[in-house]
Amino acid sequence: MTEPIRTILQESRPDQAVIDRYARAAAGLIGAENVSANHVDLLSTCRDYWPVNSIWMLEGAVPALPQLVVWPQSTEEVSQLLALANEQRIPVVPYGEGSGALGGVIPLRGGVMIDLKRMNKLRSLDQKNLLVTVEAGVNGELYEEHLNRAGYTGGHFPQSLRCSTVGGWLACRAAGQFSTRYGKIEDIAVSTEAVLADGTIFRGRRVPRSSTGPRVDRLMIGSEGIFGVITAATLRVWPLPEKRHLASYTFENLDDGLEAIRLVMRSGARPAVVRLYDAVETGNHFPELSDQRCALILLIEGARTIVDAEQEVIAEHVLANGAEESGSKYVEHWLETRFNISAASRLLQKGAVLDTIEVTTNWHNALSTYLAMQEALKGVEGTIMASGHWSHVYPEGAALYMTVVGFPAEDKITYYKKLWQGAMDASLAEGAAISHHHGIGLHRGLWMAEEHGKGLEVLRRIKGALDPHGIMNPGKLGLEEVAKWQK
Ligand SMILES: Cc1cc2nc3c(=O)[nH]c(=O)nc-3n(C[C@H](O)[C@H](O)[C@H](O)COP(=O)(O)OP(=O)(O)OC[C@H]3O[C@@H](n4cnc5c(N)ncnc54)[C@H](O)[C@@H]3O)c2cc1C
């Protein structure tokens, strides 16, 4: 007999008889081969890349387990599956590829995982209007390759490109590494198609802009599965760039680097990639550059004459702010290694606790937020590194991305919670937004009330109207307390 799998956060589960009945009905709708209660399927969809899941997994436990996984292939099938779950009050969690960083897919109350991977078609590529309509379950890398073959790019390259889906990007408001030119996913998305908890299907219009009241389909962007399932979206595409220019610089300090980027953005130039590293990360990523200086890497792409002009304007601003040129080879190195996260896996295996915490700052509090978060992270006993960089740059500010590594003497979960409490307190005190692109999931929900104030109540009311029985991804986005995961 196999031992039951230990779950840490499981709050409740519908009766097995209810699930068995649902499974039979689901098999009738989408085929028995697309419905599974096998342990391997339950285990592979029960968690994401939230580091706490890895800590538990290495100890032989999982956060929680679903009771069923279903793989629909069309929007109509998603609608039927949701309507049925709604009638039976069965919790449902949409699942892309589980690359989320905050525990967003954990099935706290059991029920059904709707895995979108079979919804992977590119429905149309409209070259005249530069729009693609794509289903939500398509893998990021395959999506980009498909566009490239037709001479286009989707402009969205999260570090998780190879292990995330278009639906997951939209659900989490993701940001790609080239976002300064192409925008975050909410800028790239023109409209969404989605299914609400009761099975209602609705689609936004693919017009560039409209003045027709609030755009309800845009509510799904950033909804992390709490309102329903995103089944498809119409996204912008761009012709493959004619020219790419790579440049890197170093600065004596972060202040000079930040001011240089601010002026570049103010000038109207829009490099695709802008990354300013602190001295620690400069040393880690580019050992040849002195670890006492801060590296800035830039990638400019687009039409040849525009790239040439942007290159000139950018060089002018950064050199006027004390930069030293260091050529293109560091950007080439970054391009080659940008999807590699093997160092993190090695550290995990050695017993480290590590995480990344991204927030959004304006220019006036960019440096002070970095310093406050770094101090808070270093102040927790056991931390051996707390470093940062800025990327995803806007005229009004930038995303600050902190990385922390520790070998705590105390219990790892206690240490982890102290890290986050310190980082979130520092970020809120400085006036930053508590997330730029990883989203909220389960864990960051602990700070949603402080982030939103009364706005969180508005979100709760919308949730109550769209999902009155609360079947969609319960316990997420800080809408309700999760007794087993407190500060
Ligand atoms: C190594 C690594 C690097 C990363 N780099 C980046 C990065 O550069 N930029 C960035 O923004 N993020 C990054 N992330 C975070 C993560 O990849 C993104 O949040 C991604 O958008 C999640 O996509 P997914 O398909 O894996 O979603 P999942 O993890 O499966 O789901 C995430 C959340 O969205 C919901 N969801 C998923 N699909 C749907 C749908 N179709 N409809 C409704 N809800 C849905 C889920 O219920 C869950 O709440 C990284 C993660 C890792 C592990």
**281 C-beta neighbours (distance < 10 Å), count:** 20
Distance CA 327, CA 431 (A): 36
**Tens-digit pLDDT profile for residues 319-376:** 999 999 999 999 999 999 999 988 888 998 899 999 999 999 999 999 999 999 999 9
Q: Which atom of ligand 1 is nearest to the CA of 49?
A: 53
Give distance in angstroms: CA of 243 to centre of ligand 1.
Answer: 30
Ligand 1 centroid from CA 305, angstroms: 36
pLDDT per position as a tens digit, 281-321: 999 999 998 768 999 999 999 999 999 999 999 999 999 99
Mean per-residue pLDDT, 66-93: 98
DSSP letter string over 195-256?
A: EETTS-EEE----S---SSS-GGGGGTT-TTSSEEEEEEEEE-EEPPSEEEEEEEEESSHHH
Q: What's the pTM value of the predicted model, to 2 decimals?
A: 0.98
Residue 341 pLDDT: 87
**Whose Cα sits closest to atom 28 in ligand 1?**
98
Q: How far apart are CA 150 and CA 156, in angstroms?
A: 16
Average pLDDT, the chain: 97
CATH number of 342-438: 3.30.300.330
The domain made up of 6-116 has a fold known as 3.30.43
CATH 3.30.43.10 range(s) for the chain read 6-116
Q: Give the model confidence (pLDDT) of 231-263 as tens digits.
A: 999 999 999 999 999 999 999 999 999 999 999
Quote the pLDDT of residue 291: 67
> pLDDT-based confidence at 147, cuts 50/70/90?
very high
pLDDT tens column, 209-225: 999 999 999 999 999 99
Q: How far is the CA of 193 from the centre of ligand 1 (A)?
A: 18
Average pLDDT in the 444-452 region?
A: 98
**Start-end of CATH 3.30.300.330 domains in the chain:** 342-438
pLDDT at 447 over 60: yes
Domain with CATH 3.30.70.3450 in the chain: 243-337
Is 167's C-beta closer than 6 angstroms to any atom of ligand 1? yes
CA of 300 to the centre of ligand 1 (A): 27
The kind and range of the H/E element at 152 are strand 152-153
pLDDT recorded at residue 236: 98
- For a pLDDT cut of 70, what percent of the chain falls above it? 99
Averaged pLDDT, 450-471: 98
Q: Taking Cα atoms as reference points, which of 300, 307, 315 lies closest to residue 263? A: 315
Query: Given the CA of residue 137, which atom of ligand 1 is nearest to it?
Result: 41
Mean pLDDT, residues 274-283 taken together = 97
Residues of the chain with CATH 3.30.465.10: 122-239
Test site for ligand 1: of 93, 114, 159, most ligand atoms within 8 A of the Cβ:
159
Q: Mean pLDDT across the stretch 94-98? A: 98
Q: How many whole angstroms from its chain centre is CA 160?
A: 9
What pLDDT is attached to residue 2? Answer: 65
98 lines ligand 1 (CB under 6 A): yes
Say how far apart CA 11 and CA 3 lie, in whole Å: 20
At the top level of CATH, the class of 243-337 is alpha beta
Rounded distance from Cα 123 to ligand 1 centre (Å)? 22
CATH topology of domain 122-239: 3.30.465
Rounded Cα distance, 190 and 455, in Å: 25
Q: Is the CB of 301 under 6 A from ligand 1?
A: no
